[in-house]
Amino acid sequence: MSIRSKQIYIAFQTIVQKEIIRFTRIWSQTLLPPAITMTLYFLIFGKLIGSQIHNISGYTYMQYIVPGLVMMSVMTNAYVNTASSFFGAKFSKSIEELMVAPVPNYIILFGFTFGGMLRGLLVGFIVILISLLFTHLHIYNFWIVISMATLSSMLFSVAGLLNGIFAKKFDDVSFIPTFILTPLTYLGGVFYSINQLPPFWKNVSIFNPIVNIVDTFRYGILGISDVNIVGSFVMVCAFFVVLCLWSLVLLQRGTGMRT
């Protein structure tokens, strides 16, 4: 490894460590709330209401919604982590620490993305552990579970970075999660199978990336799916590449950072 490569690796490591320290230091704001929210989801939708709902594809309603709720937590937390951390750095001007240093833009991109991904996966793991208090799960395909969780957390982490780059005030950081991400998630097949929808809405739902992510992850756990698994991976990878390239262009221009 050349000296420059070592320097770049240390810079990447520093950004990631800083992110880990940040979200674990404020664990009561980052790790605890999704654990409480998901416990309530499992209790109310899974146990109380779910017990009145018949099985879907041979699984209880509780078992059916667990993968969706896990992915909902993973995506939301990956997104929010990067958006708030990057905007926070802009707000406190500590982003200038990175800008004056010889840190390549792709390292800023991947450092923040990796940090967000780790928070998303950690929260996902916590939610899986909680779900085991309510139901039993078996993993149908471990690699699909891991790869889809990782890829989608990276995708939403980059999306959060874009939000952080464009955000000018704190309201801008919560706008996308509230008005776009949450509706897409609720309409993303977390609580129902898209096969239950009328044909028109089923066809529309296929273009919702969250439907593909949730259903592919569900396939990895339960072995049932309403979408094309390979198509979902291609879609997530394509979105990830496009958002990465967009972020790099913005970082290069200094959008939202340099005057």
20 binds another protein (CB under 8 A): no
* Size of interface with another protein, in residues (CB under 8 A): 31
The C-alpha angle 8, 13, 15, rounded to 5 degrees, equals 95
Is 131 in contact with 69 (CB distance < 8 Å)?
yes
Residue whose pair of structure tokens reads 């979902």 in the numeric block: 232
Q: Which residue number, 95 or 148, has a Cβ lying nearer to another protein?
A: 95
Letters for 102-131 (x = contact with another protein by CB under 8 A, - = none) are xxx---------------------------
Hey, what long-range contacts does 170-178 have (CB within 8 A, 24 or more apart)? 170/87, 170/91, 172/87, 173/80, 173/83, 173/84, 173/87, 176/79, 176/83, 177/76, 177/79, 177/80, 177/83
Per the DSSP assignment, residues forming a β-bridge with 69 are none
Residue whose pair of structure tokens reads 């390979």 in the numeric block: 230
Q: Which residue number, 93 or 168, has a Cβ lying nearer to another protein?
A: 93
Q: Which residue number, 96 or 231, has a Cβ lying nearer to another protein?
A: 96
256 binds another protein (CB under 8 A): no
What is the H or E stretch that residue 243 is in? helix 229-253
18 binds another protein (CB under 8 A): yes
Kindly tell me which residue out of 27, 40, 48, 93 binds another protein, with binding defined by CB under 8 A: 93
Q: Which residue number, 111 or 188, has a Cβ lying nearer to another protein?
A: 111
Alpha helices of 167-208 — where are they, by DSSP H? Answer: 170-176, 182-186, 199-205
Kindly tell me which residue out of 32, 96, 241, 245 binds another protein, with binding defined by CB under 8 A: 96
Q: Which residue number, 56 or 257, has a Cβ lying nearer to another protein?
A: 257
Binding region for another protein (CB under 8 A): 4, 6-11, 13-15, 17-18, 21, 25, 88-89, 92-94, 96-104, 254, 258-259
